[in-house]
Structure 1
Amino acid sequence: MSDLSGISRQIAFLLAVLLLVSACAGPPDNIIGLDSPSSSLSRLQGLKSREVYILTTRAASDDPALLFSGDRGEGLSLAKVRVTIPPGHKTGHIERAKSLPPDPRKDFTIVDPEVFATDNAFVADLRRKIRSQPKSGRDVLLFVHGFNTTLTDAIVRTAQFANDMNFSGVPVVFSWASKGKVLDYVYDLNSTLTARDRLVDGANLLDKASPTGFDLVAHSMGNFLTMEAIRQAAMQKRYNTTGKIRTVILASPDIDIDVFETQIRQLPRSQRKFYVLISHNDKALSFSRKIAGGVNRVGEADAERLAKLGVTVVDLTQIKDTNSLNHTKFADAPEVVQLIGFRLAEGNSLETRNENPGVVRNIARSIANITVSAVGDGQLIVAP
């Protein structure tokens, strides 16, 4: 009886924490297409902007300033926006407006939304964008967001990440139907399952636009969706048949470690060019583990167990970021986001193939006092 009482108290405590978090009002999401009447974007010195292309399984919203809602739509919707980044932006931060309208002098804004009526129109527009880039900037960065994320959250995170790592190519976000609420964990998890086919379809559309290569970055629960799509494509002998996927970065993966092992086994070791970012002080994953029967999530799992699967593991436990949950170090910790950008700019420098044994040591030199160990076919990197 005492055990049941202890479990009940733990569940009550966790629910209280969730309710407290959910009660905290965040920044407004209905900012898409809103211009500030007090600031002209064309005259604002130091303003940066990024076009972000959107692949989404969300249903259209009745509010045009949200564009798409947290409900699941039918098929795959396609759009693009322009995100402005304020002149005083700090690496690792997302400066969001606390009230409407956002002020581009100090806030991220999302303007010029365009929804494409057909796949062909989306591909043609993206192809024009890619061809307008210098040769060194014709890659695509595909970002798959995590749990508790609205479309607005996903868009500004994609723009911030691409900007802060100085990505020279074209950023694209795959936004699955997250409700954007902490109490909808199960809904979000089921939304990732419904989006698996659409992620494969979206990747095929991107390929039709003829980029030089792809870099794929997934975060949190988005890793579950990403790995399910990769597993599915591998079983159909369709994974990376063009060889354009250069790097897959799995940041803070919210995946049951046992499930991850079954997913990755569908890939031959030569195709496991994955960079897994973990942290043992990730509070979000700690909570996820508790509600998932106590099974470790990949983002907090034993590094050597992961490395033995043939992937490159980066332990970021000692790295500090701007988020108290330690769950977004890939984009919030300046040294991490800049390291990722530097290495992606070198083309295939993040690959872990045996014929390129110096790669990990080169990465290690980008962070002082880093520790590198070989474990089976994989690598383990520990950042100070």
Structure 2
Amino acid sequence: MRLTIAAPLLLSVALLVAGCSRPPDLVGIDNPEHPAESLPDVSRHRLFIITTREASEVVGALFSAERAPELGLASVDVTIPPNHEVGKVERPRRLPPDPRTEFAVVDPAIYKGESAFLSELNKELMKRKAGDRRILLFIHGYNTTTSDAILHLSQFVEDTGFTGVPVLFTWASAAKTPRYVYDLNSALVAREKLGEMANILAASRAEQVDILAHSMGTFLTMEGLVEAQQRGTLGTRGMINTVMLASPDIDIDLFRTQIAQLPRPVLNRMFLLVSKDDKALRVSRLIAGGVPRVGATDAAELEKLGLTVIDLSEIEDSSSGSHSKFTGSPEVVQLIGAGLNNVGAFSERSPQLRELIVGVPIRILGN
């Protein structure tokens, strides 16, 4: 029996490794011939970073896969090329990036303390009008570098038209397919820092926070919400607007216990994006001894938990594969953008959202 489980697991991991030649890190690498700052027709996003990673001296990395004892605070500017297509990341395969046709990540800044970080974050927030002073907090998943997370968040912000300020929480993923257990433990190490991060964001001038977590990042997010509930701080600041869990890599039995500990007002703001064809979660299930993962569970079963479920199982046009349809499918990105911009908060009863999903194989259950 051990051999029948191990063989497909090792084959799946080998195929993933063979199919994933990671492009280079690019943080802070500008193009001397075509500097990003000199191009007027690119989109630009200032992105703030809170991390449990150690700083890195490797060119382009900014932060490493090593775990840091204290939070790191930083920001970068990301430029999006004019040829950008919704649902895609035009990532350079060689350096330096060409910002005319590729994403570029420039002007990295490391902040030595919370006050300096908050000062810059507040400057960005106050550039927005009242009502738009919102934060989109992104918590990435397994097998992710700092560059990967920055690019995915920037693409998501661009494609959804989010008008607030993006903040990335990046934990110490090894960014290597076989190191799943290291990543899981890194997520657990990062859990104790979520309260500290929440205090920093609460001290800003943000009016609301939308949380978007992906894959193993959803496990970290749920653990953080449960801990906040146990401390008696969850929801007391009134800042959480939505909690979006994309492709949750969480043991379904653990998820039920997490849900049972959270108050109804928080659950009413929670949205699960799931897909039964999620190949990465099939591998996670094998690693977990066959226990189903939330992100590949039948949507109707999850709806019984009292949550709103967005079923993406029939979406086939994701450029980033079955595990990242939340960024890789133009239709899904449009849907999430509409929800983030408060068009009915993903309710099928909203006429605007009904228009978006006409002819698109997306099901919204609950709400």
**Normalised by the size of structure 1, how large is the TM-score?**
0.90
Task: Say if 2:285 is the partner of 1:274.
Answer: no
Partner residue of 2:357? Answer: 367
Structure 2 unmatched ranges of 5 or more:
none
Partner residue of 1:258? Answer: 253
Q: Choose the corresponding residue for 1:16, options 14, 17, 26.
A: 14
Task: Say if 2:324 is the partner of 1:328.
Answer: yes
Partner residue of 2:126? Answer: 131
Partner residue of 1:355? Answer: none
Is residue 312–residue 362 contact of structure 2 (8 Å, CA) maintained in 1? no
- After TM superposition, give the deviation of residue 163 of structure 1 in Å: 0.7
Partner residue of 2:171? Answer: 176
In structure 2, relative to structure 1, the CA distance for the partners of 1:239 and 1:188 (3 Å cut) is same
Number of positions where the alignment pairs a residue of Structure 1 with one of Structure 2: 363
Task: Say if 2:332 is the partner of 1:344.
Answer: no
CA RMSD of aligned residues (A): 1.8
Is residue 88–residue 106 contact of structure 1 (8 Å, CA) maintained in 2? yes
Q: Distance in 1 between matches of 2:141 and 2:98?
A: 27
Q: Distance in 2 between matches of 1:372 and 1:16?
A: 33
Partner residue of 2:105? Answer: 110
In structure 2, relative to structure 1, the CA distance for the partners of 1:313 and 1:169 (3 Å cut) is same
Task: Say if 2:285 is the partner of 1:297.
Answer: no
Q: Distance in 2 between matches of 1:11 and 1:175?
A: 27
Partner residue of 1:354? Answer: none
Task: Say if 2:41 is the partner of 1:46.
Answer: yes
- After TM superposition, give the deviation of residue 118 of structure 1 in Å: 0.5
- After TM superposition, give the deviation of residue 25 of structure 1 in Å: 2.5
Q: Distance in 1 between matches of 2:328 and 2:104?
A: 19
Q: Distance in 2 between matches of 1:371 and 1:292?
A: 28
- After TM superposition, give the deviation of residue 212 of structure 1 in Å: 1.4
Amino acid at match of 1:172: V
- After TM superposition, give the deviation of residue 13 of structure 1 in Å: 2.3
Partner-residue secondary structure (3-state), 1:249: strand
- After TM superposition, give the deviation of residue 324 of structure 1 in Å: 6.2
Is residue 139–residue 168 contact of structure 2 (8 Å, CA) maintained in 1? yes
Structure 1 unmatched ranges of 5 or more:
352-358, 380-384
Amino acid at match of 1:13: L
Q: Distance in 2 between matches of 1:324 and 1:152?
A: 16
In structure 2, relative to structure 1, the CA distance for the partners of 1:260 and 1:36 (3 Å cut) is same
Amino acid at match of 1:28: P
Q: Percent identity?
A: 45
Partner residue of 1:152? Answer: 147
User: Which deviations, in whole Å up to 9, do the C-alpha atoms of 1:314-358 show, x marking residues without a partner?
Assistant: 1101112334641111111011111111221127x328xxxxxxx
User: Which deviations, in whole Å up to 9, do the C-alpha atoms of 1:46-75 show, x marking residues without a partner?
Assistant: 211100000000001122521110110111
Q: Distance in 2 between matches of 1:345 and 1:65?
A: 33
**Normalised by the size of structure 2, how large is the TM-score?**
0.94
Amino acid at match of 2:181: V
